[in-house]
Structure 1
């Protein structure tokens, strides 16, 4: 493995320059660039693939030092990549074979940047480019209200009617036009379409341990976020329980506009497997806009977005129960 290769790639593809850390620092390298604050990283390079447990162990050590962690590996399983995202650990995949490309993600206080494989853009695909966020927003709106006019959809999502027309084309056979507007052919078909394609993974997620039960933790955390003027909405099984009670919530999941320190409400930062409260910053610009904001109580994601939370978090039984409830309901509550 060429240890110098990641830093050259980072400079070429992300415009980030690697420099030496201050003398006496626990860090090994400092990365800085446009829109990327000077961030010091503790690096660890592995000559062979690692396990998720290794990511968690090194992340805990880095947290004790109060420093960002960057792991360099020759390959990474889905479990390792998931563990790195859960721990807010930067992960660079540097294969040893000639002609291979550096991939992975870098995290800093400014957020996350991905090093995609440059060859991926040249590989043939069934559709050009990624699906726009507005198309997913439209899909969620149609799941909530299967029979809706194009004008109403544009107003709810906050885009122009021509943009809605383009998004409807993206949905293909999942929808069809009627004399009164657009209608979902099958909620199950559209739900499966969203589940297979929607890029749910948060940009950044932090995990916390509290002594409160999930609903109380949600109340305290959202009150703190509201006082700070931070846009947010509750998802996961706490939100699901408020929509269609099925099983006692086991954790609290809150989407926020920015990362927030919850130590002021006596929450303790911890690893994802030990946490019962999670804060996540979405890549989807429509997610927080679509939340229901009651006069009393905390904001909650729309029901079908809550279902996506459950499905991607592995709460399969709760997700199936909520989906059956929403499919049977066939429209807004």
Structure 2
């Protein structure tokens, strides 16, 4: 079968419209219609049905779409692995998209120098969903921020240890203390990420252990918004140090020096143990694991790493 037919199938499903799909593909609408008809003839089923002026896949069409997506993905992988590894794409999945928005850009810049025609997609996943997505083949690489993990089906590579710090506005009453203990947080107004995140679990475990009574001011699933709220005196919060470096430096936030074992988690890159990695993916993994995002000279050197 011509893979072009499957590409057309996916475009029609994406736009739910033959005309829109033909515009995106650069075909005449009659060509798109003809290609879908060829698939229907080959499989002996109706693939799309018109509902509310939209072309929606039939139950049989839904099954075929899943196979089409897999075939196109395998085709892209074959081009990367066989035809010079200069074009194509791969997908990264992670729950910690905000943290990686700080970490990844320098690495992506260095990677781009080696593979200017490789596209990297970053897919935001639900909490604790990264390992499942990797095993299901829904993403190629994953980023996890957690204790060091072990899974026989996956390979985990630690990139760095990320420290989490308690921050507040510079004029917060606790900011004048040389050091604080957990009990000093009694009665404090606290900002937290949405329930279920590792960052919040770290904080709540400490507060519970020391019987700290506090007011939960806001629950926000975005580090940037939490920072802004803290700057405006709406509470203290626990955040990855990487995400507050700039605000600490320019005096918009201050770290409350807590006398307590450091909050630290491992930033880990992971992938399926049986996955055949392309040269670009191998290069990206090497770049992430062999350099530190905090020192530009290392990145400049890493950008010269040749494909493995």
For normalisation by structure 2, the TM-score amounts to 0.29
* Higher helix fraction (1 or 2): 2
For normalisation by structure 1, the TM-score amounts to 0.27
Q: Who wins on radius of gyration, i.e. which is larger?
A: 2
Larger relative contact order, structure 1 or 2 (CA cutoff 8 Å, min sep 6):
2
